[in-house]
Structure 1
Amino acid sequence: MADDAFDFRPGAQVPLSGSAGQTAATFALASAAYRDSPVEAILDANSEWHQSKVSPGQKWASIFKPNLGEAFARAVQLRMLGGGRGALIQSFGTEPQVVVEHCLAANRIRKERDSWLTAVMVLTGLIFLPGLLLWLLVFQIRRSVAKAEDKRAGVLATTILIGVGGLAVLFLLKMPFSGFWAWYARAAIVAPVLGWVWAKQICERTARDLRERWSSLLAGGGIGAKIPEAVPGSPGETAAERLRQGLARLSAEQQSNSVFYAGPKGILGMGTRWGTWQLAEDLVSADSSKEIHPFRSWDVIRSIHDQLRMLERGPLNTGGFPAPSIKHWVVTPINENAGSVSRPGGTDVDAYQVKTHKIQEICNKQQFGSGDRHYLGVQWTLWDGQLIITMLITVTVLHETLRIEVTGHALGPVHSLFTSGPAAKTKTVPKTVRFWETKTQKLPLVDADEVVRLAVRAPFTWYPPILDHLGGKLTLPEPFGLRHAWAAKPWRHRFMADDALRAATPVLRVVHAAAIRVLNDNGVDTTKFAGRSSALSGAVQEVSPRKADLYDA
Structure 2
Amino acid sequence: MGDAFDFSPGAQVPLSGAAGQTAATQALASAAYRDGPMDELLKANSDTATSEVQKPRFALLEPNLGEAFSRAVQKRMIDEGRKPLIQSFGIEPQTVVEHCLAALRIRKQRDTQLTVIMVVFGLLFLPGVLLWLGGFQLRRLIAGAQNKRAGVLGTALLLALAVLGVIFMIKLPFNGFWGVYLRAMLIAPLIGGFWAKIICERTAKDLRDRWSGLLSGGGVGAKIPEAVPKNPGESAAERLRQSLAHLSAEQRSNVVYYAGPKGILGMGTRWGSWQMAEDLVPSDPEKEIHPFRSWDVVRAVYDQLQLLERSPLHTGGFTPPFVEHWVVSPIGEGASEVSRPGGGEKGSYEIRGSELQKICNEQQFGSGNRHYLGVQFVLWDGQLVITLLITVTVLHKTLRIEITGHALGPVHPMFSNKPKARTKEVKGLKFWAPTQKTLPIVHAREVARLTARAPLTWYPPLLEYWGGKLKLPEPFGLRHAWADKPWRHRFMADDAMRAATPVLRVVHEAALRVLEENGVDITKFGNRAAFLSGAIQDPSPRKADDYAG
Q: How does 1:435-450 map to 2 (within 5 A)?
A: 435-450=431-446
Give me the whole-angstrom Cα distance separating, in 1, the residues matched to 2:202 and 2:442.
10
1:215-294 maps to which residues of 2 (within 5 A)? 215-294=212-291
Q: Which residue of 2 aligns with 1:41?
A: 40
Question: How many Å apart are 1:71 and its aligned residue?
Answer: 0.3
Aligned residues of 1:424 and 1:442 also touching (Cα < 8 A): yes
CA deviation vs aligned residue, 1:229-250 (integer Å, no higher than 9, x gap):
1111111111111000000000
Correspondence for 1:420 among 417, 420, 435 = 417
Query: Which structure 2 residues correspond to residues 329-368 of structure 1 after superposition, within 5 A?
Result: 329-345=326-342, 350-368=347-365
Distance 1:228 1:412 in 2: 34
1:308 aligns with 2:338: no
Report the alpha carbon displacement of residue 427 of structure 1 after superposing the two structures with TM.
1.1
Instruction: For residue 541 of structure 1, give the secondary structure of its aligned residue in structure 2.
Output: coil
The counterpart of 1:398, out of the listed 391, 395, 414, is 395
What residue number does 2:369 align with?
A: 372
Q: Aligned match of 2:12 in 10, 19, 43?
A: 10
Alpha-carbon deviation of 1:392? 0.3
- d(CA) in 2 for partners of 1:511, 1:465: 53
- Give the deviation of 1:74 after TM superposition: 0.1
Distance 1:347 1:426, change over 3 A: closer
The amino acid across from 2:47 in the alignment is: E
3-state SS in 1 of match to 2:275: strand
**Segment drifting more, 332-341 vs 128-137:** 128-137
Contact 1:509 1:537 in 2 (8 A): yes
Distance 2:330 2:161 in 1: 63
Root mean square deviation, CA, Å: 1.9
The CA deviation string for residues 480-533 of structure 1, in whole angstroms up to 9 with x for no partner, is 000000000100000000000000000000000000000010010000000000
1:465 matched residue in structure 2: 461
Q: TM-score, structure 1 length as denominator?
A: 0.95
Deviations 1:279-305 (A, max 9, x none): 000001000111110000000000000
Q: Which amino acid aligns with 2:43?
A: D
Distance change >3 Å, CA 394–CA 26, structure 1 → 2: same
The answer as to whether partners of 1:282 and 1:401 remain within 8 angstroms in 2 is yes
2:293 corresponds to which residue?
296
Taking the aligned partners of 2:345 and 2:284, their CA distance within structure 1 comes to 41
Between the aligned partners of 1:127 and 1:348, the Cα distance in structure 2 is 54
Deviation at 1:145, TM superposition (A): 1.3
Deviation at 1:174, TM superposition (A): 1.8
- Deviation (angstroms), 1:350: 2.9
Equivalent residues in 2 for 1:78-157, closer than 5 Å: 78-149=75-146
> 1:183, CA displacement in angstroms?
1.3
CA distance in 2, matches of 1:92, 1:2: 26
How far apart, CA to CA, are the structure 1 residues paired with 2:94 and 2:460? 23
The residue number in structure 1 matching 2:480 is 484
Q: Which amino acid aligns with 1:337?
A: G
CA contact (8 A) 2:376 2:386 kept: yes
Q: Distance in 2 between matches of 1:252 and 1:348?
A: 10
Residues 142, 155 of structure 2: 8 Å contact kept: no
Post-superposition offset of 1:436: 2.3
One-letter amino acid of the counterpart of residue 25, structure 2: T
* CA-to-aligned-CA distance 1:303-332 (integer Å, 9 cap, x gap): 000001110001101110010100001110
SS at match of 1:184: helix
Partner SS state of residue 537, structure 2:
helix
Of 503, 528, 533 in structure 1, the residue corresponding to residue 529 of structure 2 is: 533
- Distance (whole Å) between structure 1 residues aligned to residue 510 and residue 81 of structure 2: 45
Cα distance in structure 2, aligned partners of 1:170 and 1:144: 25
Alignment-mate amino acid for residue 322 of structure 1: T
The alpha carbon displacement at 1:435 in A equals 2.1
**What SS does the aligned partner of 2:462 have?**
helix
Deviation at 1:353, TM superposition (A): 1.5
Q: Which amino acid aligns with 2:257?
A: F
Alpha-carbon distance in 1 for matches of 2:360, 2:53: 42
Question: Which is further off, 296-305 or 340-349?
Answer: 340-349
SS of the residue 2:536 aligns to: helix
Secondary structure of the 2:458 match is coil
- 1:183 aligned partner, one-letter code: V
Residue 496 of structure 2: aligned partner: 500
Q: Any stretches of 5+ residues in structure 2 without a counterpart?
A: none
1:187-230 Cα deviation digits (max 9, x unpaired): 11111111111111111111101100000000013211010111
| Aligned AA (2:380) | W
Gaps of 5+ in 1: none
For structure 1, which segment, 152-161 or 208-217, has the greater mean C-alpha deviation from structure 2 after superposition?
A: 152-161
Paired letter, 2:288: E
Q: TM-score, normalised by structure 2?
A: 0.96
Evaluate the alpha carbon distance shift between residue 275 and residue 219 of structure 1 in structure 2; reply closer, same or farther with a 3 A threshold: same
SS of corresponding position for 1:515: helix
The farther-off stretch of 140-149 and 35-44 is: 140-149
The answer as to whether partners of 1:90 and 1:253 remain within 8 angstroms in 2 is yes
Distance 2:295 2:418 in 1: 49
Q: Does 1:318 align with 2:319?
A: no
CA contact 1:2–1:249 (8 Å) conserved in 2: no
Q: Give the SS at the match of 1:224.
A: coil
Change (3 A) 1:5 1:303: farther
Q: How far apart are the structure 1 equivalents of 2:185 and 2:443?
A: 23
Are the equivalent residues in 2 in contact too, given 1:6–1:251 (CA < 8 A)?
no
Query: Paired residues, what number?
Result: 547
Whole-angstrom CA distance in 2 between matches of 1:14 and 1:140: 39
Corresponding residue to 1:517 among 513, 520, 532:
513
Q: Could you tell me which of 468, 475, 491 is aligned with 2:471?
A: 475
Letter in 2 for 1:34: Y
Q: Alignment partner of 2:402: what SS?
A: strand
Contact 2:61 2:463 in 1 (8 A): yes
Q: Which amino acid aligns with 2:351?
A: V
Query: How many angstroms does 1:404 deviate by?
Result: 0.4
Contact 1:262 1:334 in 2 (8 A): yes
Question: What amino acid is the match of 1:12?
Answer: P
Counterpart of 1:177 (choices 157, 174, 178) is: 174
- Please say which of residues 434-443 and 69-78 is displaced more in the overlay: 434-443
Compared CA separation, residues 440 and 228, structure 1 to 2 (3 A): same
CA contact (8 A) 2:5 2:346 kept: no
- 2:207 paired residue number: 210
Q: What is aligned with 1:28? A: 27
> 1:182 Cα shift?
1.4
Q: Given that residues 5 and 345 in structure 2 are in contact (C-alpha distance below 8 angstroms), is that contact kept between their aligned partners in structure 1?
A: no
For the 8 Å contact 1:147–1:153, the answer to whether it is kept is: no
Contact kept, 8 Å, 1:273 with 1:549, in 2: the verdict is yes
Amino acid at match of 1:40: D
Amino acid across the alignment from 1:328: H
How high is the sequence identity, in percent, across the aligned residues?
64
Question: Closer, same or farther in 2 for the Cα pair 1:214/1:472, shift >3 Å?
Answer: same
Larger displacement relative to structure 2 (141-150 or 157-166): 157-166
Q: Report which stretch shifted further, 262-271 or 341-350.
A: 341-350
